[in-house]
Amino acid sequence: MAQTLSDIKRLLAEHGLRPKKKFGQNFLHDGNHMQKIMAAARLSPGDVVLEVGPGTGALTERLVGAGAKVVAVEIDRDMRPILEARLGEKITLHLGDALDGKHEINTEVVALLNDITAPSDLALFTIQTPFKLVANLPYSIASPLLANLAVDHPAMTGAVVMIQKEVADRLLAEPGTKAYGPLGVVIQALFEVERVCVLKPGCFYPPPSIDSAVVALHRRVGPLCDDAGALGGLLHRLFSKRRKQLGAILGRDAVLPEGVGITMRPEQLTVRQLCEMARLI
């Protein structure tokens, strides 16, 4: 049976626990929105799913019920008895951070997704098993986690994530808008992005101070950019001076794509134009 707000409070109380602010714990309890997440994930039995921040397992139980093979990553070790009691051997549980620093996925998480022992040369270790990210993400890691998985781990075929609405706006932003920037450009170059729903604070326990949103990412069959690393480097260079003209940033002799002039500003360029510029430069 799906977890309700009362169930979540009871499970925490039984283990003497309260939501921890340091881990960004805002437990989603709205069943209707969890069902929207499941529908957007388009899961088939046997699909491998990475869930970061399972908490008491409210969404995890739905993932398992859909037949997914779930690797759940939980930084709060106090959640272990709750997850093990409710899900036991039905999931693979990793207790720890999903990230090593801000720019790499935890190597143990990669190993669990690949179902192998991590090799000694971890620098070349990437996820090989096709998987989907489905999670109510802690706000503090949403951007770096999505960027890393999108660029460095093409085995991620898609994602459905609950994130801060402001971050969702950045992922969906169009040229000329304030939210348009490097994160959204890179994600849109590699994925089709859609907004699934927006949630008010009351859908969570405890309620956060801001609105949240669910976005779905579906990896493009043909990415707009063949070298996401080169694109990222160009975007950092351009958007650190987003109000300046391209000629002032790159030089007036820079080779630019057709339809792009040196008097244009970075925020005016489309994702396709920025991808083409990365290829040329």
Predicted local confidence at residue 1, as pLDDT: 63
pTM of the model: 0.94
Domain match, 212 and 123 both: yes
Do 134 and 94 fall into the same domain?
yes
Residue 150 identity: A
pLDDT of residue 123: 43
**152 and 244 assigned to the same domain:** no
Domain of residue 9: give its range: 5-219
* CATH code (residue 158): 3.40.50.150
What does the block give as tokens for 177?
């808008």
Q: What is the pLDDT of residue 219?
A: 96
Question: Rounded to an integer, what distance in angstroms lies between the CA atom of residue 74 and that of residue 251?
Answer: 47
The predicted pLDDT at position 234 comes to 95
Tell whether 77 and 125 lie within a shared domain. Answer: yes
DSSP 3-state of 99: strand
pLDDT computed for residue 271 by the predictor: 97
pLDDT of residue 115: 84
Domain count, the chain: 2
Q: For each successive 10 residues of the chain (281 residues), what is the average pLDDT?
A: 92 97 95 97 97 98 98 98 96 96 88 72 73 96 96 96 98 97 98 98 96 97 92 95 94 92 96 95 82
> Of 219, 253, 272, which closes a domain?
219
The answer to whether 170 and 194 are in contact (CB under 8 A) is: no
**What CA–CA distance (Å, rounded) separates 200 from 93?**
29
Alpha-carbon distances, residue 38 vs 7, 134, 190 (angstroms) = 20, 8, 22
Q: What is the C-alpha to C-alpha distance for residues 145 and 112, in angstroms, rounded to an integer? A: 17
Identify the CATH number of the domain in which residue 273 sits.
Answer: 1.10.8
Burial 81-95 (b: 16+ CB within 10 A, else e): ebbeebbeebbbbbe
Whether 182 and 236 map to the same domain: the answer is no
